[in-house]
Amino acid sequence: MPDSTATNAASYTTRWDTIWASLVDLEEDAIEWGFDPLVFLPFLAESEAIDQASWTAERLKAALPAARICIVENQRDGRIADLHPESSAARAYSQHLRNLGGGVSHLTMPAIPGRSWRHFEVAGCRFADVVDLPTPEIMQLTGLPRAEAKIARGDIAQWLISIFAELDLVLSGDRS
């Protein structure tokens, strides 16, 4: 599925989920059951994705006021910090996501070094499984030579370490 189709499908799903949460008064259930909801809202460094994330965050805040929202900058295709300040994406970020208000955290999901994930994604692997795979199995799954298989596994391990560090900050409440 091309990225634009995936983005549109995710946008539709997120919009429906937000409306549904409001219609069924999910907030009431969360409070009654003692849940502390945390919603992760990923976006790419592109104006449409930023606009959708902003729209969704505002509706989530209205539908689930007790929920903590964490916007996730997925740096797969680039970083907000690297955008030209006058680009449509940089303006959208400054206007819509930079200051969403209280209860919103920010998490950075860096790009995987060397774009190594593409080899494992095609093979249907999970991130956590990759780091435990023996080199011969990685070679068989990906078709990579031994040295590149080891490097790719290391890239995924390095990425997981950085993601877990980001998640620790958000989950502990140290990131706002």
For residue 10, the tally of other CB atoms under 10 A from its CB is: 14
How do residues 137-155 score in pLDDT, each as one tens digit? Answer: 999 999 999 999 999 999 9
Q: Are residues 15 and 88 in the same domain?
A: yes
Which residues make beta-bridge pairs with 74?
109
Confidence class for position 86, pLDDT limits 50, 70, 90: very high
Whether 15 has a pLDDT exceeding 80, the answer reads no
The alpha carbon of 44 is separated from its chain's Cα centroid by a whole number of angstroms, namely 8
- How confident is the model at residue 61, as a pLDDT? 84
Q: pLDDT tens digits, residue range 56-73? A: 888 888 888 888 889 999
Q: Tell me, what amino acid is at 108?
A: T
Greater pLDDT, 8 or 104: 104
Beta bridge partners of 43: 73
Return the pLDDT at 26: 73
Domain co-membership, 34 together with 89: yes
Closest Cα to residue 107, out of 158, 72, 69?
72
Same domain for 126 and 39, yes or no, is: no
Residue 149: domain span: 114-176
Count of domains forming the chain? 2
